[in-house]
Chains A and B, each alone.
Chain A
Amino acid sequence: MKIAFELNGKARSLEIEPRETLTEVLRARCRLTGVKLSCEAQVCGSCTVLVEGLPVSSCTYLAYEIRDKRVTTIEGLADGAGHLHPLQQAFLDNFAFQCGFCTPGMILAAKSLLDQNVHASDEEILAYMSGNLCRCTGYLGILKAIRQASVELQRQSQGKGRNRESKREGANDTSNE
């Protein structure tokens, strides 16, 4: 069957088998090997990608489900100019990985969390991220990275907010939440 979808910001259309999983399609057909396969049972989260901004375990998600949807993989996170996403930078700064096998899924899950709730508390981070396993780090570095990215994303959105505000002539700048 033929499916059309948006992959990392670009329109794609592909011929796939109906039983193919999203992992298979992304890794084998699209050569996006940043999608990592581990448990194949929706436990570890290493295969996490974003569909319409929400995390899915691509190991058990049928590829035809993405038709007409937006798919984001780790390869699509840095902006076109090669600037890392604040989460990617925060993972580097906090040594939030060792072998790196869990990292793409970890970063995408965290992105989805912060996109929904940029102010996530530690409890919220721990609860949300519990579907992603890391066997190397013991998680602390990842928690710190998500905290750092949360601060950075808040700063960026405030900056943007302020820019918008200042463009509006005469608007009083009270937004500081």
Chain B
Amino acid sequence: MSDLNKSVVKNFAVVNHSVPRADGVAKVTGSATYASDITLERMAWAKLLRSPFAHAKILSIDVSEAKRQPGVVDVLTGNDLGTLHPYYGHAVKDHPLLAIGKVRFVGEPLAAVIGEDELSAQEALEKIKVAYQELTPVLDIKSALAPGAVLVHGMDYIGGAFRGFDDFPGGTKNICQAVHVEWGDVDAAFASAAHIAEGEYYFPMVYAYAMEPYVAVADYDPKGQLTVYSSAQHPFMVRHDLTEVFDLPLNSVRVIVPYVGGGYGSKSYTKIEPLTAACSWKTSRPVKLQLSVEEAFLTTRSDDARVNIRTAVDASGKLIAKQATIHLDTGAYAENSPMVCRKAANRIVGPYRFPNVRIDCLAIYTNTVPASSYRGLGAAQITFPVESQMDELAHKIGCDPQEFRLRNLAHSGESIHPGLRPIDADVPGDIRIAGETLRSNGPLAPKHGRSVCCSCSDAGAHPVTLAMVQVYADGSVSVLSGSTEIGQGSHTVLAQIAAEEMGVPLEKVRLVGSDTGVTLFERSTGASRTTTLMGRAVMEACREAIAQCKSMAAELLSVPASEFTEGRGGIRYGKDWLSWPEIIERYFQMEGCGIIGRAYLRRAGVFKAVPVFWEIGVAGVEIVLDEETGKISLHTLVTVGDVGLAIHPAMTEGQDLGAATMGLGIGLFEELIYEGQQLMNGTLLEYRVPRFSDLARRIELKLVENRDGVGPYGAKGGGEGSVNPIGACLANALYQAAGVRIRSLPLTPERVWKALQEKKAQASSAQRKSSGAPKIRAQTRAYKTRVPKT
């Protein structure tokens, strides 16, 4: 199978070139259609009533007055869901379409008003009367885990479409998922260690802020057909949940996803689609539910993480053991946090050789906004502690941090996780590139700091990807793909691959999708899988179409296929050149005809080993610190994309910069803040994301193309790696610039300034005592006070 990768195509005609984007003209002229732009005939609008309490029993809901308001079509509450299966969830079926019996977070929807227009629906919300009985809320990990803790759920659930998760003991505990990873003898290794670094780190609760908020338009036909337009990343996963909620067969639920206005993980899996569909089911009208950004803040966030981690080295500076406990605050519903939990536990090992490892990761229910996938899927949360601690340990043993990493990084082909695919990337090489790029800035100026960090993720998710191409007699080609175009450029990349394979000009290739009624199954669009899996499927589907063309040609020419030679786009037989489209037309003796090539990828062959590939994140920063204000600004940003082959180099670089910029947001300013039950900064006015003015002065986006992946032509995915290392890069660079170590993100000016003041105070009291104060310990104490309360 490996011949499919490296040998066949050597000089690329279309791939590995930065061709114009397939969606480009539509997007710069305003004609690109997003789900929010969809309007159907007779369409009504839904608006949601949200809970003011984090945890309360719903004693009664009176909707009679709301129903009488002008322009109101109907009102739906948790009491009306009787004939549906009202709980959904691909991992744990714990999420009701609307709160049933009790509410579990401030902002949880408990009623939907369906109106002729948005305003009528909105205004009727306040006519709904709800009687609550407040319950003690579980607002942080500590109280969730305390003996005798109040239970967020208090009932057991069954698993969803995902296999391999354990039962969910919601009836007895607040633990949504527990993952344990262990090999070697960790205790013995720590007992024999020459040096140990140990610390607690905190990664904040953040919001992805896809600029297009969640939206769905549902049309339930009582004869048993449901059509949903949605901003979802994974239309087939949404379809699965809808078939279960409405008890419909797969062929009766059609999920259509037009262009998606950003996701970054936050639009993965099912969100508001079942609820919107239930509104349509109740009213027999098409219904649109368009959330605002403020409501999106109350829909999905990242898991915040409290990570206790210990790393041991022997006397030669070789890593010998890692032990970590990760506590994820998962919020009120599981969503994809069980997967975040598993991935965080796997990924905390990093791209290093560790003979002894013990990791415990818990996803914990609390009465806060549900957490789910966020770009990096658990890796951003754990790379901050891992790579901060790598620097701390390097300093402790008196070794240059880059040298320390190089000494311990796994090389291509080495195993980092027993039983998993060996590393298919050159991490040491990547680290050297980033380091050299930073050093080309010259000697480090005062108040500047530099750091290069890395991450390593088992990426690609479960490989089930089916694709289909249609090759027409006029030389045009359609690619039917269930991958959503979410901005990552899948429509362009897949068209490039089809053009490369079929030997047709790129303009002749058109993408069709995503529409579960038309395109074949693709499990998801995430985990950086599209180029690797869908790209490979499209390549194989083209080759299948070509094989058909060749046997047609053999039949037409009445010669065995061995007598003609295959070239790019057709065959040569004697003096004649027959292109694939010509063969198709001659075979059928019919204009306007076309054939289908298809490919089914599953966990077999080159995809037998997991993960599909290791996604490497390597980034470097040089920062400038303003000691007066504590403000950190970015002087240089370097990313290294170890992508096997960049099908589209410019877009690949764009993914790296985009991901690194999200990392910068988390590193410097982003954090959702709860005060008691309330999310305090759930609007864009208060939640600061990176702006133009935060752009680094120097940006270097490097690509490493060793063609070492299982994707087409040796390609691997990208797009998430660079978000992971940035937080640690910033914290390490700050340490270099000012000698303060901060173990909580974000590094806001206030937090940095306080740390600088404490360091000064320590220094002067140490001077007064005129003793060499134990610096490290003093700082450690200082950080503890800075860990935000959960």
Which residues of chain A have a CB within 8 Å of any CB of chain B?
A: 32-41, 43-44, 46, 73-75, 77-78, 84, 88, 91-92, 95, 97-104, 107, 125-127, 129-130, 132-143
Contact = CB atoms under 8 A, between A and B. Distances in A.
Interface in B630-685: 650-651, 654-655, 657-658, 660-662, 683-685
Contact of A129 (B20, B264, B487, B692): B692
Contact of B30 (A38, A75, A133): A75
A40 B293 contact: yes
Contacts of B292: 40
A15 to B, nearest CB: 15
27 contacts: A32-B30, A33-B36, A34-B29, A39-B293, A41-B293, A43-B685, A46-B211, A78-B29, A92-B21, A97-B28, A98-B654, A99-B212, A99-B487, A100-B27, A100-B261, A102-B211, A104-B30, A129-B692, A130-B692, A132-B692, A133-B689, A135-B208, A136-B487, A137-B654, A138-B657, A138-B690, A143-B692
Contacts of B699: 138, 140
Nearest to A99: B487
A92 B25 contact: yes
A136 B684 contact: no
B293 A33 contact: no
Contacts of A78: 29
A92 B211 contact: no
Contact of B18 (A88, A95, A137): A95
A126 B212 contact: no
Contacts of A77: 29
A58 B25 CA distance: 23
Most buried by A among B18, B23, B261: B261
A135 B30 contact: no
Contacts of A104: 30
Given A95-B651, A100-B26, 6 more contacts: A41-B685, A99-B262, A126-B693, A127-B693, A133-B211, A143-B692
Contacts of A74: 28-30
Nearest to B662: A135
B692 A33 contact: no
Nearest to B117: A28
A99 B657 contact: no
Most buried by B among A36, A46, A99, A141: A99
A99 B209 CA distance: 13
A141 B315 CA distance: 47
A101 B261 contact: yes
Interface of B: 18, 20-21, 23-34, 36-37, 208-213, 259-264, 292-294, 486-489, 650-651, 654-655, 657-658, 660-662, 683-685, 689-693, 695, 699
A136 B262 contact: yes
A100 B692 contact: no
B691 A130 contact: yes
B488 to A, nearest CB: 7
Contacts of A107: 28
Contacts of A99: 210-212, 259-263, 486-487
A35 B210 CA distance: 16
A88 B29 CA distance: 7
Most buried by A among B21, B691, B692: B692
Given A34-B31, A44-B211, A92 B20 contact: yes
A143 B259 CA distance: 24
A164 B135 CA distance: 78
Given A103-B28, A130-B691, A135-B264, A38 B211 contact: yes
A10 to B, nearest CB: 16
A139 B692 contact: yes
The 9 closest A-B CB pairs, nearest first, are A34-B30, A99-B487, A98-B487, A100-B27, A101-B261, A138-B661, A74-B30, A138-B657, A39-B684
Contacts of A84: 25, 28-29
A135 B211 contact: yes
A130 B689 CA distance: 11
A36 B261 contact: yes
Contacts of A73: 30
Contacts of B261: 36, 99-101
B29 A136 contact: no
A140 B489 CA distance: 17
A101 B293 CA distance: 14
Contacts of B657: 137-138, 140-141
Contact of A100 (B32, B293, B651, B661): B32
Nearest to B488: A98
Contact of B689 (A34, A97, A135): A135
Contact of A97 (B27, B36, B263): B27
Nearest to B485: A99
A84 B658 CA distance: 26
A22 B119 CA distance: 16
Most buried by A among B29, B260, B658: B29
Contacts of B683: 39, 41
Nearest to A137: B658
Contact of A33 (B27, B30, B486, B691): B30
Nearest to B688: A43
A135 B210 contact: yes
Most buried by A among B28, B259, B650, B683: B28
A26 to B, nearest CB: 11
A142 B699 CA distance: 14
A145 to B, nearest CB: 10
